[in-house]
């Protein structure tokens, strides 16, 4: 818990947060200030938060308290599974993904480096419980710092739709696959739509992605066999052609857009990296044991590896491990003052610890 800071005005409560970045994507980890949510699973806790108290997501991510171009948030909760060391709920501008890679990495870093979970020198194994299932984490620790994080979700990823297409104004037919890996991700070949996936293309990528999502939502609304309807498509993943480095490793540039942002992810991101890995497995390019280095348009990198291929509700599904590094940037308290007209009201007062009368 962070030490309490003196406040200059009456307030309803404070939320203790630690900000962690992975490849430039910033994750606001909530460690205290929120009461434990009801639910017999972390998925049920997420559903309660989404349906009854979405004000927490809004106060963490939107103006005037938000502002980073690639900001996400995670609420640490008590796990339900006896195997898990901690649970966490992922919050993004689009809503509540079931699994997210860099959110997993950042949550693990925050828990270990703040002492919420004990850190040991060398490898430290953790199990985190996300709404989408258990996630095995291996953190390499040195002198009080998490040097790298490798995670592997227990819920496999799979190709939900193959060779779909839409037509945008003034463009030829655009082909894409849809991969489920914590959410449904349409994957577009960047070269086929004229992108090299470099930093100068950011605004053009955003413009294309917003138009593409509008069109793709009209032709695709996949349903997960376990989690059901997760809502309309909210992401676009651009992927370059696959290349080999001089050392012989596979590489692919990856850029993820999340609706309704006006920018793209700073990192190649964990689940988009998994999505393009799964696509390559489905295409017969990669198999178990193969590794893929992914690079964002800002040249941040992650490393993904195919760990197994197995049947999953009629699909050939893939489990993957993704490795990256992150750094704590800020430890702070968000003041929740309900006299502020820009404080979200949606159920936030009900879940604050010891809230004042709103």
CA–CA distance, 198 with 253 (Å, rounded to integer):
9
H-type helices in 114-234, by residue range? 202-219
In 3-state terms, what secondary structure has residue 117? Answer: coil
Residues forming a β-bridge with 122: 141
Bridge-based pairing state of the strands 122-130 and 86-91: parallel
40 is catalytic: no
Residue 64 three-state SS: coil
Calpha distance 201→38 (Å, rounded)? 44
Beta strands, E only, 143-232:
145-153, 158-167, 173-180, 184-189
In the chain, count H helices and then E strands: 6, 17
Catalytic residue among 70, 100, 106, 296: 100
Rounded to whole angstroms, the Cα distance separating 336 from 14 reads 6
d(CA 131, CA 75): 11
CB atoms within 10 A of CB 165: 12
Cis preceding-peptide flag for 64 (omega within 30 of 0):
yes
Q: DSSP string of 255-281?
A: EEEETT-SSB-SS--HHHHHHHHHHHH
Selection from 298, 272, 94 nearest residue 201 by Cα: 298
Q: Which of the residues are catalytic? A: 100
């Amino acid at each position: 818990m962070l030490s309490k800071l003196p406040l200059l005005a009456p307030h309803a409560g404070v939320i203790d947060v630690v900000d962690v970045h992975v490849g430039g994507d910033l994750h606001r980890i909530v460690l205290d200030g929120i009461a434990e949510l009801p639910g017999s699973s972390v998925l049920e806790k997420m559903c309660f938060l989404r349906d009854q108290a979405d004000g927490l997501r809004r106060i963490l991510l939107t103006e005037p308290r938000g502002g980073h171009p690639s900001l996400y948030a995670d609420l640490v909760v008590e796990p339900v599974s006896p195997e898990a060391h901690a649970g966490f709920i992922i919050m993004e501008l689009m809503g509540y993904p079931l699994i997210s890679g860099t959110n997993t990495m950042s949550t693990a870093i925050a828990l270990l480096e703040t002492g919420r979970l004990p850190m040991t020198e060398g490898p430290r194994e953790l199990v985190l419980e996300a709404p989408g299932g258990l996630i095995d984490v291996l953190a390499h620790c040195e002198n009080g710092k998490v040097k790298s994080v490798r995670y592997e979700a227990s819920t496999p990823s799979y190709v939900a739709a193959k060779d779909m297409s839409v037509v945008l104004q003034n463009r030829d037919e655009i082909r894409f696959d849809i991969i489920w890996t914590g959410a449904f991700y349409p994957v577009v070949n960047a070269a086929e739509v004229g992108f090299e996936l470099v930093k100068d293309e950011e605004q053009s990528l955003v413009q294309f992605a917003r138009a593409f999502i509008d069109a793709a939502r009209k032709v695709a609304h996949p349903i997960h066999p376990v989690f059901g309807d997760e809502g309309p498509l909210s992401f676009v993943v651009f992927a370059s052609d696959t290349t080999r480095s001089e050392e012989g490793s596979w590489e692919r540039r990856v850029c993820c857009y999340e609706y309704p942002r006006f920018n793209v992810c700073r990192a190649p991101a964990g689940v988009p990296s998994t999505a393009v890995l799964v696509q390559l497995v489905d295409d017969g390019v990669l198999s178990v044991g193969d590794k893929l280095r992914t690079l964002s348009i800002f040249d941040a990198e992650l490393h993904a590896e195919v760990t197994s291929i197995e049947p999953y509700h009629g699909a050939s599904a893939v489990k993957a491990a993704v490795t990256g590094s992150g750094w704590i940037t800020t430890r702070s308290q968000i003041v929740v003052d309900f006299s502020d007209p820009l404080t979200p009201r949606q159920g936030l007062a009900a879940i604050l610890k010891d809230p004042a009368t709103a």
